[in-house]
Structure 1
Amino acid sequence: MADETETVALSVPQDITAEQAVLGSILLSTDPQDLIADLMTILEPSDFYRTAHRLIYAAILKLDESQRAIDILTIVDELNKDNQVENVGGMAYLAELASTVPVAGNALYYARIVREKSIRRNMIDTLQSSLTQTYEGADSVDDAVAELSTKLDMINGGEKSADFKNIADVVEKSFEQIEQNSRTTETVTGLASGYPALDNLTTGFHGGEMIIVAARPAVGKTAFVLNIAQKVAVADPDLPVVVFSLEMPDTSLVNRMLAAEGNINSQHMRTGQLDSEEWNALAVAMGSLANTKIYIDDTAGIKVTEIRSKLRRLYKREGKLGLVIIDYLQLIEGTGSEGRQQEVSAISRAIKMMAMEMDVPIIALSQLSRSVEQRQDKRPMLSDIRESGSIEQDADIVAFLYREDYYEKVNDDSDNPNDPRDEEQQDVGEIEVILEKNRSGARGTARLLFVKSYNKFSNIEFHAEEPGGFG
């Protein structure tokens, strides 16, 4: 048996011949611009192992970007600007590249070999770095695993972008979708929220959509999205529903769901003082929710990269995701290298990209700024979203929750679920769900009843105002 300290010398993954073949194919191509357009979806300069090849490919990309001719002379001219000609072996080496191509028409095949070797090198670097960090033990195990998973996912991103889609193919796909929708009288073509008043406006939540639900603290936004989560999950127990709770522990979250599912007074649940009827209702509610695929993550200060990593792992395990809820967006931790508004904008964009990547609707909660309370009409507007940046641009739907009785009380800036203001407000009241933006449907207001003691929303009526359209 080999000694534990014994190491085996391994060569760095690389294929110099394939790198030479890629560059030589460009030099021999009768239409280098067309070839480069294809190569750019596969390779970056950093994918080349030999430094000279990185410099040559970077020079070729600069020539292509400025729409200049691409040949040995122009490449030499471009390299001369940074005094790099001798570092790549001079004109003689460029001529050699053009003469050593096995088959110029196989350029993309050679490029994929180069890319594969690059991925392997990046994997080695990432794993070695992770190994060092693991020995040092500076990060928690969960953080280290999440960071490693995210880095490996980024490395194995495949080709840089998807190719064009011919409109004929897209038209056919659209027709099939329309035809499928025509076979039913249902107006909800996406994921039903469980509230017809809301679904009449949205036609349901669709994969790839980012939905913002915003309100001032203690209005009921967490209860609202939890109601949606449990309605979706109970309606289809095989559909994975994910809740990221950045402010509330998992037990508090589940207690709210149980209260709503069983019509149980949440105060009684907090104190444990339930009567016999409530105990029976609790048992039924527990059985109903336990039969679902609701996944909860209550990591405080979670980063958007960790959210992406966890969702990707769950997506791979389940094969699909039904709905994702993030409570709430402004609590997601940034990098600290930018201003907070820029960080929140980057987080917002990342959430939208996750929704599209995993074809799942993501509902992200957001706070509203105090400015809404300075106006006579305190119904929120898009500009009231706190640290908004690009949130309203990224979102497909922006829904505001508005309660008239809320603004009769003293303002407070806490999202504490035990906000004393709640005790002063009527237990059953009307709440407006105002769709201020709806990219693919109608703007309007769905009016619901909110029973605070049960943390439960129910329907009243639906009132449409105007179509949404682009935006």
Structure 2
Amino acid sequence: MLDSNQIQLEQEILGALLNNSKLVIVAKERIKYYMFKYKPHMKIYMNILDMAERKMEIDLITFINFSRNSIAEMDGVTYVTEIGTCSNSDASFNTKLELLIEGYKRFLYLEMCNNINESMSIEEIESELESTKVNIHKCQFKKEIDIAAQYNDYMSWLYDENRNKGISSNLTQIDKYLGNFQKGRLITVFARSGVGKTTFSIQIASNMALQGANVFYGSAEMSVNQVFNKIAASHLSVSSKSIDDDSILKEQKDSICEFMVKLLENNFYVSTETDIDKFINEIKLYKLHHSIDVVFVDYINKYIDFSDRDIMTNKLGRVSGKLKSLAMQEDICVVLIAQANRSVDKRSGEMAIEKIDASDIQDSARIEQDSDQVVALYRNIKLDDKKYKDKLFKMGKLRYNSSDADENPECMNAVVIKNRHGERGTCALKWQGKYSRITNF
């Protein structure tokens, strides 16, 4: 006999899902279809998940159209419509999910008690207890544990000549060291202030998108317009400053528009959300409706919880840990941008590039541990000063053909200082700050 409170709880959960597709992410990770006791509710939830898998928009009208061939199994259109009006607030959605899970666990225990009787042997009773424990534990996992499937998946991957070879950044030397940007990895890129870590990340992100990769760019320091300005400046050889202050010609604006249409067609999305949990949910929701190959997080310090009184290393570590889990669970590449310690700025020495290591990532302990690969960027930012540059030029100390960033103002060095999947080494890149552009040297 179904309890009326249980029916109402299930209706409110389903109603919330039909009114707010963002909640599907939360529900999908916490509850299974069989936790609904009323069979029509099971069918409704299964169809919602099916729509999510097909990357469809989820609302009441779309759901009814999608389910028209099986709507009778859900007690009809009128009942589904009533469910769509059952939840007016999402505030207690997580609490309702918890109540559903607890109710299902209680059902399993009661069912176990009903199945045990005096005529059963000890072995049979223990078997019943073990089976119930297994089902209870399943409530905590997102997917079923299947050992054979892991091996089958690996064998299929091993012999697949067309398997994914990673995402190319179009920066040849970096791709060679990293083995391209592979899904499931957390790759950290860091540099001191003013070197160009944001320019670097936006450059490779747009390169990837224009080659067909689906890119999700998290920008915590720049607006969407500023990100697009940098991309347009790089690819069309227009000064990003001239776009900002609107001193470009109409013809140049037309070219930018044509280029942005091309970028849009390649699914380049910019998010300015800075709450790490909301940011991750936004990524998962976007992935439900579109594919994602790579996520950029620019930069980590902007995603920490400042209300947390813990030390900075631990706060940053919680963010990097969540991003590493995201990369592995969602099978996407996550590129994390980080700041170098201020002490690096104070180093003088002409060989500063060799002094940068993983310990120079600001409050780095956990970030470095969570990262599969770490890349340090270096430029001699003193050469951005025209007077200083002219002085060195007159002294014959500027070498525009050099691959050493200390003596070439148009060179950026990228140092792979941690690589779980290959060798470490130094790359030379072409730096063109005026156009926010980084290319092969």
TM-score by length of 1: 0.59
Residue of structure 1 in register with 2:159 after alignment? 176
Residue of structure 1 in register with 2:66 after alignment? none
Instruction: Go from structure 1 to structure 2 and tell me whether the alpha carbon gap of 1:427 and 1:101 turns closer, same or farther (over 3 Å shift).
Output: farther
Deviation (angstroms), 1:330:
1.2
| Deviation string, structure 1 residues 226-271 (Cα, Å, up to 9, x no partner) | 11111111111xx421111111111111111111121111121122
Deviation (angstroms), 1:172:
2.3
Deviation (angstroms), 1:392:
0.7
Q: Which runs of structure 2 are paired with 1:106-145 in the superposition (5 Å)?
A: 110-111=132-133
Letter in 2 for 1:158: K
Give the conservation status (yes or no) of the 8 Å contact 1:344–1:389: no
Letter in 2 for 1:242: F
Give the conservation status (yes or no) of the 8 Å contact 2:116–2:128: no
Residue of structure 2 in register with 1:10 after alignment? 5
Q: Which runs of structure 2 are paired with 1:86-125 in the superposition (5 Å)?
A: 99=117, 104=125, 105=127, 110-111=132-133
| Residue 364, structure 1, aligned to residue 336, structure 2 | yes
Letter in 1 for 2:276: V
Instruction: Go from structure 1 to structure 2 and tell me whether the alpha carbon gap of 1:200 and 1:313 turns closer, same or farther (over 3 Å shift).
Output: same
The whole-number CA distance in structure 2 between the counterparts of 1:275 and 1:95 is 79
Aligned counterpart in structure 2 of residue 327 of structure 1, from 269, 274, 298: 298
Letter in 2 for 1:352: K
| Residue 194, structure 1, aligned to residue 167, structure 2 | no
Deviation (angstroms), 1:53:
12
Aligned counterpart in structure 2 of residue 256 of structure 1, from 230, 234, 238: 230
Give the secondary-structure state (helix, strand or coil) at the position aligned to 1:190.
coil
Residue of structure 1 in register with 2:415 after alignment? 434
Aligned counterpart in structure 1 of residue 188 of structure 2, from 209, 212, 225: 212
Give the secondary-structure state (helix, strand or coil) at the position aligned to 1:450.
strand
The whole-number CA distance in structure 1 between the counterparts of 2:435 and 2:371 is 30
Instruction: Go from structure 1 to structure 2 and tell me whether the alpha carbon gap of 1:231 and 1:358 turns closer, same or farther (over 3 Å shift).
Output: same
| Residue 336, structure 1, aligned to residue 317, structure 2 | no
Give the conservation status (yes or no) of the 8 Å contact 1:223–1:455: yes
- Whose radius of gyration is greater, 1 or 2? 1
Deviation (angstroms), 1:351:
0.5
Deviation (angstroms), 1:326:
0.6
Give the secondary-structure state (helix, strand or coil) at the position aligned to 2:316.
helix
Instruction: Go from structure 1 to structure 2 and tell me whether the alpha carbon gap of 1:50 and 1:109 turns closer, same or farther (over 3 Å shift).
Output: closer
Instruction: Go from structure 1 to structure 2 and tell me whether the alpha carbon gap of 1:166 and 1:383 turns closer, same or farther (over 3 Å shift).
Output: same
The whole-number CA distance in structure 2 between the counterparts of 1:359 and 1:251 is 29
Residue of structure 1 in register with 2:142 after alignment? 158
The whole-number CA distance in structure 2 between the counterparts of 1:356 and 1:459 is 30
Letter in 2 for 1:434: V
The whole-number CA distance in structure 2 between the counterparts of 1:281 and 1:254 is 13
Give the conservation status (yes or no) of the 8 Å contact 2:384–2:409: no
The whole-number CA distance in structure 2 between the counterparts of 1:233 and 1:164 is 35
The whole-number CA distance in structure 2 between the counterparts of 1:101 and 1:434 is 71
| Residue 346, structure 1, aligned to residue 346, structure 2 | no
Quick check: 349-358 or 442-451, which moved more? 442-451
Residue of structure 2 in register with 1:287 after alignment? 261
| Deviation string, structure 1 residues 296-315 (Cα, Å, up to 9, x no partner) | 1113xx22211221111111
| Deviation string, structure 1 residues 172-213 (Cα, Å, up to 9, x no partner) | 245325x557xxxxxx92110111121111121111110111
Instruction: Go from structure 1 to structure 2 and tell me whether the alpha carbon gap of 1:113 and 1:202 turns closer, same or farther (over 3 Å shift).
Output: closer
The whole-number CA distance in structure 1 between the counterparts of 2:119 and 2:235 is 69
| Residue 226, structure 1, aligned to residue 198, structure 2 | no
The whole-number CA distance in structure 2 between the counterparts of 1:357 and 1:215 is 28
The whole-number CA distance in structure 2 between the counterparts of 1:290 and 1:106 is 56
Instruction: Go from structure 1 to structure 2 and tell me whether the alpha carbon gap of 1:100 and 1:378 turns closer, same or farther (over 3 Å shift).
Output: farther
| Deviation string, structure 1 residues 376-399 (Cα, Å, up to 9, x no partner) | 332221110001121111101111
The whole-number CA distance in structure 2 between the counterparts of 1:209 and 1:51 is 35
| Residue 385, structure 1, aligned to residue 357, structure 2 | no
Give the secondary-structure state (helix, strand or coil) at the position aligned to 1:229.
helix
Give the conservation status (yes or no) of the 8 Å contact 1:403–1:432: yes
Give the conservation status (yes or no) of the 8 Å contact 1:427–1:451: no
Give the conservation status (yes or no) of the 8 Å contact 1:321–1:358: no
Give the conservation status (yes or no) of the 8 Å contact 1:428–1:449: no
The whole-number CA distance in structure 2 between the counterparts of 1:426 and 1:264 is 26
Deviation (angstroms), 1:332:
0.6
Instruction: Go from structure 1 to structure 2 and tell me whether the alpha carbon gap of 1:427 and 1:295 turns closer, same or farther (over 3 Å shift).
Output: farther
Deviation (angstroms), 1:341:
1.4
Instruction: Go from structure 1 to structure 2 and tell me whether the alpha carbon gap of 1:277 and 1:175 turns closer, same or farther (over 3 Å shift).
Output: same
Letter in 2 for 1:433: A
Residue of structure 2 in register with 1:40 after alignment? none
Percent identity over the alignment is: 21
Instruction: Go from structure 1 to structure 2 and tell me whether the alpha carbon gap of 1:106 and 1:295 turns closer, same or farther (over 3 Å shift).
Output: farther
Deviation (angstroms), 1:278:
3.3
Give the secondary-structure state (helix, strand or coil) at the position aligned to 1:436.
strand
Residue of structure 2 in register with 1:447 after alignment? 428
Letter in 2 for 1:199: D
Deviation (angstroms), 1:292:
2.3
Instruction: Go from structure 1 to structure 2 and tell me whether the alpha carbon gap of 1:408 and 1:317 turns closer, same or farther (over 3 Å shift).
Output: closer
TM-score by length of 2: 0.63
The whole-number CA distance in structure 2 between the counterparts of 1:167 and 1:189 is 20
Give the secondary-structure state (helix, strand or coil) at the position aligned to 2:416.
strand
Instruction: Go from structure 1 to structure 2 and tell me whether the alpha carbon gap of 1:97 and 1:454 turns closer, same or farther (over 3 Å shift).
Output: same
The whole-number CA distance in structure 2 between the counterparts of 1:176 and 1:52 is 46
Give the conservation status (yes or no) of the 8 Å contact 1:264–1:281: no
The whole-number CA distance in structure 1 between the counterparts of 2:280 and 2:418 is 25
Unaligned runs of 5+ in 2: 11-99, 386-405
Give the conservation status (yes or no) of the 8 Å contact 1:450–1:457: yes
| Equivalences, count | 322
Give the conservation status (yes or no) of the 8 Å contact 1:428–1:452: no
Cα RMSD (Å): 4.1
